[in-house]
Amino acid sequence: MSGNQANLKLQPEPAAGTAPAILSVDDVVKRFETPDGPVVAVDHMSLDVRQGEFVSVIGPSGCGKSTLFNLIGGLLSPTEGRISIAGEEVRGPHPSIGMVFQEESTFPWRSVEENVAFSLEVQGVGKAERLERARHFIAMVGLRGFERRYPTELSGGMRQRVAMARTLAFEPKLLLMDEPFAALDEQTRLLLGDKVLQIQQELNQTVVLITHNITEAVQLSDRILIMTYRPGRTKRFVEIKLPRPRTSEIVGSDAFGHYVAEIWNDLREEASKGMHDQETMAERRRR
């Protein structure tokens, strides 16, 4: 074991005696039937996430991250296994799970406050209350003063914060995010990470983040699940023992660098398999 590895601790399950799991992914398999035969995208994966915990799922392109996101969010059903939130089986979109997507999902015809109030409107919350709650969450994501603006008047990072505020406004037990900052530049991404850390601490929010960005995963997480490339399995869990509360300043620390290096070692192996696979497929098509 290298010196760096000694800094990392594998933790397949949450430690005993801590908060109970709010999300439970239990031995889940997802198989797609395709014209070329079955594709196993998620292969016997298990994950327990405690109340208030921040877990990131990282893996190379095509390893099954988005499939896992869609399974947890109830947009896909597992072929085998079970997913539950607060003890209830997830059988479709669940009110306790709030999703933030990679693609921008704000409504361009609604102002910021109308966007954020939307989920409350759907729930039948009265106008005065929903606007008050919307303004609270708009302030939380750092957009006070922009309530009456429209998405086209905002930057990409601001629009993603609107999407996050809209999801947080219905107070989900689990915030489930799929690469919400993937389209943003690195500085904006790091600074938005600070916002996410603040919000998570303020709400004691349980979060599962799907990402392929190692820096983002280390900056934000309590634990990182590293996935293998095809079929998507758990390669290992890494517990991030950086102090909280955290800010993006931590990115420059030695401890941060050690985590990034170790995770890259694991990912490099998996990403290389992916690249080799893609090159072989391209070669086959050329023939």
Ligand X SMILES: Nc1ncnc2c1ncn2[C@@H]1O[C@H](COP(=O)(O)OP(=O)(O)OP(=O)(O)O)[C@@H](O)[C@H]1O
Residues contributing to the site for ligand X (CB under 6 A): 32, 34, 39, 41, 59, 61-67, 212
Please, what is the minimum distance in Å from the beta carbon of residue 26 to ligand X? 19
Closest to ligand X by CB, 157 or 231:
231
Q: How far is the CB of 169 from ligand X (least distance, A)?
A: 27
Q: Which is nearer to ligand X, 56 or 115 (CB)?
A: 56
- Going by C-beta distance under 8 Å and a sequence separation of 6 or more, which residues neighbour residue 96? 85, 86, 88, 172, 173, 174
66/106 with CB nearer ligand X: 66
Tokens, residue 221: 């997480």
How many other CB atoms sit within 10 Å of the CB of residue 85? 23
Query: In the chain, what is the straight-line distance between the N-terminal and C-terminal CA atoms, in Å?
Result: 44
* Closest CB to ligand X among residues 41, 90: 41
* Axis crossing angle, helix 127-140 with helix 112-122, rounded to the nearest 10: 130
Q: Smallest distance, Å, CB 63 to ligand X?
A: 4
Task: Tell me the β-bridge partners of 58.
Answer: 211, 226
Cβ nearer to ligand X, comparing 2 with 61: 61
- At closest approach, how far in Å is the CB of 206 from ligand X? 21
Q: Least distance from C-beta 62 to ligand X, angstroms?
A: 5
**Adjacency order of strands within the sheet including 88-89:** 37-50, 21-34, 80-85, 88-89
Residue nearest to ligand X (CB): 66
Q: Is 42 helix (H, G, I), strand (E, B) or coil?
A: strand
